[in-house]
Amino acid sequence: MIDPAQIKKDFPILNREKNGKTLVYLDNASTTQKPKQVIEAITNFYENTNANIHRGIYDISEEATALYEGARETTQKFINAASKSEIIFTRNTTESINLVAYTWGEKNVQKGDEIIVSMIEHHSNLLPWQFLAKKKGAHLKFIPIKDDLTLDIEEYKKLLSEKTKLVAITGMSNVLGTIAPIEEITNLAKEHGAHVLIDAAQTAAHQQIDVQKINCDFLAFSSHKMLGPTGVGVLYARQSILKKMPPFLYGGSMIAAVELDSAEFAKPPQKFEAGTSNIADVVAFKSALDYITDLTFNEIQKHEKELYKYAISELSKIEDIKLVTPPEDQAGPVITFTIKGIHPHDIAEALNSENIAIRAGKHCTDPLHKHLGLIATARISLYVYNDKQDIDRTVEALKKCIKIFA
């Protein structure tokens, strides 16, 4: 069983105090904190192995290359990709999705084609397709949500046709916590010959991902949302698709041969990793993946579900709070809410005075908030180092907030 008290010891920032109170960090859907193992991996790289990769014929360069490629292999195993060549390192989920839009999308989406996304998408999985559709004369369609805030799969089935070129869907809503049935969505898309991209930014830290089982064509996620450093994203894509995709960026490292008037590109994944990579942070990302793997997803989910149920129970006792969450069995560790008469920014500021960090705003989902008739929401998002004491402090702070504004 996960013991948050023990896990907290691995996260130096959680010792940070304000007015004699230690930090309660509940903004994990935005970014997670980093364990000392990850921090030490970054320091160790710069102190002992700092060199460019894939180029130098000297010890520390070869060691740096081995560490970097070792992180790629760990990532491959983490999501069960068929080959490490299907793993491309980017800056973040946003860049991974844009890479697909600007390469595969530009080449394959034509006038009259249709792209399906959902009403719960983060802007990162909406705007690239919105602008691609406008540029190419394609049409964007949206899977609606039901009253219980889950995706309407029956309506999705009606949207699919021979015109469907791509279905781009989040694995979990960063606002509602709604978990999408991505295998079902993928299988239905495949019946119509469509490609599928999964935005796993909110999924990769909480659920075991098996890209071969899901049968998706693309999958994107970020290191910083799963205990790793910022500035590292992952794009998984089928090898057969990568070979046909044009490069995203042009320059060093992504070529096999160059003439004054032509160039031959390297094979994937180097074809899509132009220039000097974020080497140290990729190396440290491996430490984050190892940390999660050691905890096991089975135990992570047990802990999160128990804590989620406790939080929902305690928050529901506060009369003025309105929860904006799906049914518990279809929810990830995200709890979004409003308080009557208090702007979410004021809620977040009141909690900050108690050294409790939550998120408030539209969470990069303007269309969803408009659909729900909400100007903004407050959000609590949980992870492995959170415990019931964190929830108790948050509940007391919210009660205090309501009294102040009353």
CA distance 267 to 246: 11
DSSP line for 266-298 = PPTTGGG--SS--HHHHHHHHHHHHHHHHH-HH
Q: How far is CA 30 from the centre of its chain?
A: 9
On the CB side of 335, CA atoms within 13 Å amount to 24
Closest-CA residue to 354 (of 25, 27, 19, 26): 19
Residue 364 catalytic? yes
DSSP 8-state code for residue 33: -
Residue with tokens 């520390």: 60
Considering the entire predicted model, what is its pTM? Answer: 0.97
Domain boundaries, given as residue ranges, for the chain: 4-26+296-399, 39-293
> Which listed CATH number (3.40.50.2000, 1.20.120.80, 3.30.230.80, 3.40.640.10) goes with 39-293?
3.40.640.10
Catalytic residue among 39, 127, 241, 364: 364
Q: What are the backbone angles phi and psi of residue 235, rounded to the nearest 5°? A: -120, 120
Whole-number pLDDT of residue 245: 97
Residue 22 β-bridge partners? 17
Whole-number pLDDT of residue 1: 86
* DSSP H or E run through 154: helix 153-159
Other Cβ atoms within 10 Å of 140 Cβ, number:
16
Closest-CA residue to 204 (of 285, 283, 113, 107): 285
CA distance 208 to 215: 14
CA distance 368 to 362: 9
Distances (CA, A) of 227 to 6, 28, 333, 334: 16, 9, 16, 17
Whole-number pLDDT of residue 55: 86
Cβ atoms 160, 189 nearer than 8 A = yes
Whole-number pLDDT of residue 343: 97
Q: Given CATH 3.90.1150.10, say whether it is the number of domain 4-26+296-399.
A: yes
CA distance 171 to 154: 18
Angle, helices 279-295/59-79, rounded to nearest 10 degrees: 40
Angle, helices 297-316/279-295, rounded to nearest 10 degrees: 80
Token digits for 129? 């397709």
Closest-CA residue to 357 (of 308, 390, 404): 390
Helix (H, G, I), strand (E, B) or coil at 369: helix
CA distance 365 to 362: 6
CB-based contacts of 25: which residues, under 8 Å, 6+ apart?
13, 14, 33, 357, 385, 386
Same topology for domains 4-26+296-399 and 39-293, yes or no? no
DSSP 8-state code for residue 175: T
Mean pLDDT by 10 residues, the chain (406 residues): 95 96 98 98 98 94 98 98 98 98 98 98 98 98 98 98 98 98 98 98 98 98 98 98 96 94 96 96 98 98 98 96 97 98 97 98 97 97 98 98 92
Whole-number pLDDT of residue 269: 97
